A and B are shown apart, each in its own frame.
Chain A
Amino acid sequence: MADDLFKLNVDGQDIEVPKSYTLMQACEEAGAEIPRFCYHERLSVAGNCRMCLVQWVGAPKPIASCAQTVGEMRMNPDGTPPNIITRGDYVEKARKGVMEFLLINHPLDCPICDQGGECDLQDQAVAYGRAGSRYELNKRAVEDKNMGPLVKTIMTRCIQCTRCVRFAAEVAGVEEIGMISRGENAEITTYLEESLTSELSGNVIDLCPVGALTSKPYAFNARPWELRKTESIDVMDAMGAGIRVDAKGDAVMRILPVLNEEVNEEWLSDKSRFIWDGLQRQRLDKPYIREGGKLRAATWGEAFEATKAALAKPAEKIGVVAGDLIEVEQAKAALDLFRALGVQNTDCRPGGASYGADGVRERYILNPTLMGAEEADALLLIGVNPRVEAAVWNARIRKAWLWNDLTVGVIGEASDLTYDYTHLGEGPDVLNSLSSSDEAFVEALRNAERPMIVIGEGALSRGDGAAVLAKAHDFALEVGAVTEDWAGFGVLHSAAGRVGALDVGFVPGEGGADTAGILGGDMETVVLLGADEADLSGLEASTVIYIGHHGDAGAAKADIILPCAAYTEMVATYVNTEGRVQMTRRAVQPKGEAREGWAIFRALSDVLGKALPYDTAEALRDVLRGEEGSVFSGLGYAPGASGAEALKAAIEQDGEVSSAPFGSTIDDFYLTNPVARASKTMAECSRQQRALETPIAAE
Chain B
Amino acid sequence: MAVRRFDIDAGGDTFAFKPETEPKIEFWLAKYPADKKRSGVIPLLWLAQKDNDGWLSEPAMREVADRLEMPYIRVYEVATFYTMFRLQPVGRYHVQLCGTTPCMLRGANDLKEVCESKIGPKMFVTDDGKLSWEEVECLGACVNAPMVQINDDYFEDLTEESFGELIDRLRNGADVSPGPQVDRVNSAPIGGTTVLTDETLFDGSLAKSITLPNLPGALAAAEAEPEAKALPEKKPATNTDREEAKPSGKTGSKNKEADE
Contacts and interface: CB of A to CB of B under 8 A. Distances in A.
A176 to B, nearest CB: 6
A191 B73 contact: yes
A180 interface: yes
Nearest to B2: A185
Contact of A185 (B3, B76, B77): B3
B72 to A, nearest CB: 5
Contacts, number: 40
Given A187-B3, A191-B76, A192-B58, A181 B81 contact: yes
Contacts of B81: 180-182
Contacts of B80: 180-182
A187 B4 CA distance: 10
B77 A179 contact: yes
A179 B8 CA distance: 19
B1 interface: yes
A223 B207 CA distance: 91
Contacts of B77: 178-180
A192 B8 CA distance: 10
Interface string B76-108: 110011000000000000000000000000000
22 contacts: A143-B3, A176-B73, A177-B73, A178-B74, A178-B76, A180-B76, A180-B77, A180-B80, A180-B81, A181-B1, A181-B3, A181-B80, A182-B80, A185-B1, A185-B2, A185-B3, A185-B4, A191-B71, A191-B72, A191-B73, A192-B6, A192-B58
Interface of A is mostly: mixed
A185 B5 CA distance: 11
Interface of B: 1-4, 6, 8, 58, 71-74, 76-77, 80-81
A181 B76 CA distance: 9
A568 interface: no
B134 to A, nearest CB: 15
Contacts of B8: 192
A499 B209 CA distance: 101
Most buried by B among A185, A187, A191: A191
Contacts of B71: 175-176, 191
Interface in A161-188: 175-183, 185, 187
A65 interface: no
B127 to A, nearest CB: 29
A471 to B, nearest CB: 36
Interface of A: 143, 175-183, 185, 187, 190-192
Contacts of A183: 1
B76 A175 contact: no
Contacts of A181: 1, 3-4, 80-81
Contacts of A192: 6, 8, 58, 72, 76
Given A182-B80, A192-B58, 11 more contacts: A175-B74, A177-B73, A178-B74, A180-B4, A180-B80, A180-B81, A181-B80, A181-B81, A185-B4, A191-B73, A192-B8
A485 B72 CA distance: 45
Contacts of B3: 143, 181, 185, 187
Contacts of A191: 71-73, 76
Contacts of A176: 71, 73
A190 B2 CA distance: 19
A402 B122 CA distance: 46
Contacts of A180: 4, 76-77, 80-81
A697 B6 CA distance: 25
A175 B65 CA distance: 13
A176 B76 CA distance: 11
A638 to B, nearest CB: 36
A175 B71 CA distance: 6
A178 B65 CA distance: 14
Nearest to B80: A180
Contacts of A175: 71, 73-74
A181 B77 CA distance: 7
B1 A178 contact: no
B102 to A, nearest CB: 23
Nearest to A184: B1
Contacts of B72: 191-192
Q: Which of B8, B72, B73 has the most CB of A within 10 A?
A: B73
B194 to A, nearest CB: 44
Contacts of A187: 3
Contacts of B1: 181, 183, 185
A334 B69 CA distance: 55
A552 to B, nearest CB: 38
Contacts of A190: 73
Nearest to A183: B1
A408 to B, nearest CB: 18
B133 to A, nearest CB: 21
Contacts of A185: 1-4
Contacts of A179: 77
A204 B3 CA distance: 24
A176 B71 CA distance: 7
A449 to B, nearest CB: 26
B32 to A, nearest CB: 19
Per CB-CB distance, the 7 closest pairs between chain A and chain B, nearest first, are A175-B71, A178-B73, A180-B80, A191-B73, A191-B72, A178-B77, A181-B80
Nearest to B4: A181
